[in-house]
Every structure is written in C-alpha cells, then in structure tokens.
Amino acid sequence: MAGYKIHHKTVKGGVVTATDFTRPYGEPIKCASCGTIHFAKTYHLSLDENGDAVVSESILNNLTRMKVIGTTKKAQFVVDTTVDHPKPINLGMGRNGGLTTLGKPTVSRRPVMHLDFGEKPPRPLPLER
C-alpha cells in the first residue's frame, strides 16, 4: 500500500498534533503517546529533520478535509510525493504499557505544534463528589 509524504512549511523535526473536533470522544482520554488529554480524534505526525512525515491515504484524506493539508494559507502541510513502499508501522503495547512502533515509542516528546479543526467544545466541568 502506498503512502504519501507530507511536508510542513516551517517545523523541522518534532511532533505536530491535529485534532478533529467534529469527531469527539465519548470521554476524554489521556494519551499514552504524548501525555496530554484528548477530547476528540487526534493525529500525531512525527516529523523528520526535513519537516516530512509519511501518512496513509485515509489519514491524508482526513487531514485534507480538516484543511491541515492543502494550498490555502491556513494549511500547514503540503503533499510532497507518493511513497511506493513506506516502512511498515506495526503497533503494539510496549513493556511499560505505552504504544510502540517497531519497538520505538510512536511519540517520544510533547508536540511542538497543535492544530484544531471544527468548533472546540467548552471543557467539561469536573464531577461533584
């Protein structure tokens, strides 16, 4: 299955997250990868030293719909090339319970940039005890 190399216009290296608030979670979750709390579907894009990441066609389509990828001023990424044989991503649980990719953490640090799509809901009030 082919992948797509996307390129960030300014960030070189690090993790960029993109949250789609049109796809909220039923309950907020603490992300095992980056340690933050997510309220909706969040994509973690690990950029190399050139600002590139490889994504699947379905992720490409979702990020394009969210206007994260494209040619508008708001878009942060552009599609660079098609990758015929991207490295496989095998997800599993690591020894410490964190999500791993090929034996390495999928996200090794906090995101350097966060992008939102859709109307961000107000934060839920804590439950009274």
Residue 102 pLDDT exceeds 60: no
Asked if the structure places residue 77 within a domain, the reply is yes
Asked if the structure places residue 90 within a domain, the reply is yes
Number of structural domains, the chain?
1
- Provide the residue range defining the domain that includes 109: 3-117
pLDDT band for position 114 (cuts 50, 70, 90):
confident
Asked if the structure places residue 125 within a domain, the reply is no
Q: What average pLDDT does the structure give for the chain? A: 78
Of 25, 23, 28, the residue nearest 125 (C-alpha) = 28
Asked if the structure places residue 49 within a domain, the reply is yes
Average pLDDT over residues 37-45: 90
